[in-house]
Amino acid sequence: MSNLKPDSVIACLDCPDHVQAVLEASMWAATRLQAPIGLLHSVPSLQQKAAVNYSGCLNIDDENTLLEQFTNKEHLSNCELKAQGKLLLHQATTYCEQQRQKLKTYTLHRHENLSESIDYVDDKAQLIVIGHHVTCKSTLSRLIRVSLCPILVTHAPFLPPTTALFAFDNSPTCHKMLNWLCKTPLIRALTVHIVMVGKENSENCDALREAYARLKQAGIKSKKALLDCRDVTAALNYYQTENDIGLLMSGAFGQSRLRELLQGSDTEKLLVSTQTPYLLFPKA
């Protein structure tokens, strides 16, 4: 029987360097969404898997000592992998309780790869939080492509944002994300800069103005900008840096695969270049 709770924020604890950042980002999101946090740890069922060092990923001394026993081995058996995962989940639960006592947490210990685990949770979750570096064979962009749920990718450390940049391109995915942003309490307290990169023509100006009006009507403090630039990634990175914006938001892989093949994916370029949390909405 599954213990997955509907409308959860799912914290993916697959990367030692980002465990604390993922938990901090998940607690930030769960507080705003008034949602429980599902602490997810995924381990493929392999007889001999290279050991991953989770010791020291959180500042809880008792469990760190226990986790260190697994790092002294070059490979871990299935039983040892399960034991390591249980210790990590216990440590993560303790950390959340110490930081935010009112938040509800529960654990999801999955014996499969992270991509399969995301497939298991994303049709019921409100948000999936994942570290910028992942330890599974699947790439981060592949995980985002297959997800049906919004994903928040975080670097370490996680810094709670007060402003957000919504990269708007007038695509069906962006309009779907706009509808979601107008309803979700996740970004309600943030100042949202809705930014479009493209030619300053009537079509783009009208689309940006209408999207900006939607945010304002939803009660979200907003600003708008149209950047006439051919390099989407460079323009967004520059605007975000110049305005000290703490969260990037966009649709995920909204371009056609042919354009991605010829010009490269803007989503992948932004995943590489941005140094802030990045909220991605699944392709429509």
The amino acid occupying position 61 is D
pLDDT (mean) for 97-110: 90
Could you give phi then psi for residue 129, rounded to 5 degrees? -115, 130
Would you say residue 138 has pLDDT above 60?
A: no
Question: Per residue in 125-135, pLDDT tens?
Answer: 999 999 987 65
Residue 150 has pLDDT above 60, yes or no: yes
Rounded-to-integer distance, Cα 253 and Cα 284, Å: 10
Ramachandran class of 253: left when φ > 0, alpha when ψ lies in -120 to 50, beta otherwise: left
User: Minimal CA–CA distance to 160: which of 124, 120, 190?
Assistant: 190
Q: What is the pLDDT of residue 160?
A: 98
The pLDDT of residue 89 is 93
| Sequential DSSP letters for 35-92 | --EEEEEE----SSEE----TTSSS-HHHHHHHHHHHTSSEE-HHHHHHHHHHHHHHH
Q: What residue has token string 């970004």?
A: 187
Q: How far apart are CA 210 and CA 131, in angstroms?
A: 34
* Residues 242-254, mean pLDDT to the nearest whole number: 93
For the stretch 161-213, pLDDT in tens is 999 999 999 999 999 999 999 999 999 999 999 999 999 999 999 999 999 99
What residues contact 236, with CB distance under 8 A and at least 6 apart? 165, 167, 195, 197, 227, 248, 270
Give pLDDT, residue 59.
Answer: 61
pLDDT the model gives residue 202: 97
pLDDT value at 54 more than 80: no
pLDDT at 248 over 90: yes
Strand partners, 39: 11, 107
The confidence band for 53, taking pLDDT boundaries of 50, 70 and 90, is low
The per-residue pLDDT of the chain, averaged, comes to 86
Q: How does pLDDT run across 84-94, given as a tens digit for each residue?
A: 888 899 999 99
Please give the domain boundaries of the chain with CATH numbers for all domains: 9-154 (3.40.50.620), 163-281 (3.40.50.620)
